[in-house]
Structure formats: C-alpha cells, structure tokens
C-alpha cells in the first residue's frame, strides 16, 4: 500500500518561486496498477511516482 498526502514541491528560481506541485493525495493498493496522466508541465516528473 502506498499512501501520500499533501505532496508538494516548490522551486526557487531567479524569477521567483515556482509551485510545481501542490496538494497531491494518492492511495495505491497492493497489486494495483496506476497511470499518471497530464499535459506537458503538469507535474508528473516532479511528483516522481
């Protein structure tokens, strides 16, 4: 079982703060296969599932 609550990631850049991911909640049960979909820049890689 994977449980995540309130995942977030904020980058500090020269232009200021970039809140790339905010408030991701996720439950994945044993044996479940989960796809993580979203448009370019949505935050899939940063969430690092």
Ligand X SMILES: Nc1ncnc2c1ncn2[C@@H]1O[C@H](COP(=O)(O)OP(=O)(O)OP(=O)(O)O)[C@@H](O)[C@H]1O
Footprint of ligand X (CB under 6 A) = 11, 13, 18, 20, 38, 40-46
Q: Which does 10 bind (CB under 5 to 8 A by kind): Mg ion, ligand X, none?
A: none
CA 21/CA 4 separation, integer angstroms: 13
Q: Which helix (H) or strand (E) holds 1?
A: none
CA 49/CA 47 separation, integer angstroms: 6
For Mg ion, the closer of residues 29 and 35 by Cβ is: 35
- 9 with 21: CB under 8 angstroms? yes
For ligand X, the closer of residues 6 and 13 by Cβ is: 13
Q: Which does 17 bind (CB under 5 to 8 A by kind): ligand X, Mg ion, none?
A: none
């Amino acid at each position: 079982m994977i449980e995540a609550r309130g995942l977030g990631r904020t980058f500090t850049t020269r232009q200021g703060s970039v809140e790339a991911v905010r408030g991701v909640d996720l439950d994945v049960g044993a044996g479940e296969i989960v796809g993580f979909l979203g448009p370019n820049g949505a935050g899939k890689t940063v969430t690092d599932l």
